[in-house]
């Protein structure tokens, strides 16, 4: 039988499984969505453990997720994912927010593995904000109303990747329309490798550029990839989604 959110919280919070309660506030109201990492679950649809949002009550504020794999535009209040290979699980986070509102993301996290950290990505501002630390939050004001996914993503990443990114903190990496964009480059010799989630290298390029650079990804299948950028100052590793 399918479990409702309260039953899921009771059943799984006591089993030492990683659980994230992602919260969204506009200063007047608050909403939340839950993600659970459970043995035997998948990045696709898990009937009874992925629970859709209830649309019977109209609201100007909402937060939800969509499936990591095989999503079909369905919004979920509760999403269950496998409790392994966390770095490959990039979760689309959707919101419904009115124009002109400042929104605040925060998170309650239980049973976080010691080598995993949680980041919220804002593709519009190109910012990553860590949410698993005490009192951490991400604030942003939306000039236009927003409904749906595509701007915000939740990342579960190892401390090794987070530390490496800090060594070259001015460099940003993001993807769109079969392209990977780099900004903040400092004219060093740079090598970029792109790997699939199994660790197989599918592309490698070397270049020297200052400021911005773009790599075109022709004939690459949709999915999740790791981009490794190596400069003389250090390495940045970033997960991207090719859609």
Using the predicted structure, report yes or no on whether residue 16 has a pLDDT greater than 90.
no
User: Lowest-pLDDT range, 6-20, 53-67, 158-172, 213-227?
Assistant: 158-172
CB contact at 8 A, 67 and 52: no
User: Rounded to an integer, what distance in angstroms lies between the CA atom of residue 231 and that of residue 83?
Assistant: 33
pLDDT band at residue 1 under the 50/70/90 scheme: very low
Mean pLDDT of the chain: 84
Residues in the chain: 243
Mean pLDDT, residues 24-50 taken together: 92
User: Rounded to an integer, what distance in angstroms lies between the CA atom of residue 158 and that of residue 89?
Assistant: 12
Percent of the chain residues topping a pLDDT of 90: 36
Mean pLDDT, residues 108-129 taken together: 89
Long-range contact set of residues 203-210: C-beta below 8 Å, sequence gap at least 24: 209/182, 209/185, 210/185, 210/186
* Rg of the chain in Å (alpha carbons): 18
| All structural domains of the chain | 5-159 (no CATH), 168-242 (2.60.40.3080)
Using the predicted structure, report yes or no on whether residue 22 has a pLDDT greater than 70.
yes
Residue partners of 84: CB distance under 8 A and separation at least 6: none
For the purposes of burial, counting CB atoms within 10 Å of the CB of 75, is it exposed (0-12), middle (13-18) or buried (19 or more)? buried
pLDDT band at residue 218 under the 50/70/90 scheme: confident
Using the predicted structure, report yes or no on whether residue 179 has a pLDDT greater than 50.
yes
Q: E-assigned strands of the chain?
A: 19-25, 30-38, 51-52, 62-65, 76-82, 90-97, 102-110, 116-122, 127-130, 138-141, 146-158, 172-176, 179-196, 201-216, 223-231, 234-242
Identify the pLDDT of residue 71.
Answer: 66
Identify the pLDDT of residue 210.
Answer: 83
Identify the pLDDT of residue 161.
Answer: 47
Using the predicted structure, report yes or no on whether residue 159 has a pLDDT greater than 60.
no
DSSP 9-52: HHHHHTTT--EEEEEEE-SS-EEEEEEEEETT--SS--BTTBEE
Using the predicted structure, report yes or no on whether residue 30 has a pLDDT greater than 90.
yes
Using the predicted structure, report yes or no on whether residue 194 has a pLDDT greater than 80.
yes
Mean pLDDT, residues 223-239 taken together: 82
pLDDT band at residue 115 under the 50/70/90 scheme: confident
Q: Which two tokens stand for residue 10?
A: 């009771």
- pLDDT greater at residue 186 or residue 103: 103
> 165: part of which helix (H) or strand (E)?
helix 159-167
């Amino acid at each position: 039988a399918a479990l409702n959110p309260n039953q899921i919280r009771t059943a799984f919070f006591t089993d030492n499984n990683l659980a994230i309660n992602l919260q969204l506030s506009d200063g007047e109201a608050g909403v939340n969505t839950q993600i659970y990492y459970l043995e035997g679950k998948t990045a696709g649809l898990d009937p009874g453990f992925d629970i859709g949002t209830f649309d019977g009550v109209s609201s100007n504020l909402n937060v939800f997720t969509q499936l990591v794999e095989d999503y079909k535009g369905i919004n979920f209040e509760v999403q269950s994912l496998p409790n392994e290979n966390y770095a490959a699980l990039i979760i689309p986070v959707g919101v419904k927010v009115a124009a002109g509102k400042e929104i605040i993301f925060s998170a309650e996290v239980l049973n976080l593995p010691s080598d995993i950290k949680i980041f919220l990505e804002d593709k519009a501002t190109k910012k990553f904000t860590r949410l698993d630390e005490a009192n951490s939050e991400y604030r942003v004001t939306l000039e236009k109303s927003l409904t749906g996914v595509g701007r915000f993503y939740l990342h579960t990443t190892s401390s090794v990747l987070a530390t490496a990114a800090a060594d070259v903190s001015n460099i940003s990496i993001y993807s769109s329309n079969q392209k990977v964009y780099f900004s903040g480059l400092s004219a060093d010799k740079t090598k970029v490798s792109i790997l699939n989630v199994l660790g197989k290298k599918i592309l490698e390029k070397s270049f020297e550029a200052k400021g911005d650079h773009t790599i075109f990804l022709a004939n690459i299948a949709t999915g999740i990839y790791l981009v490794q950028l190596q400069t003389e100052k250090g390495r940045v590793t970033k997960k991207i989604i090719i859609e």
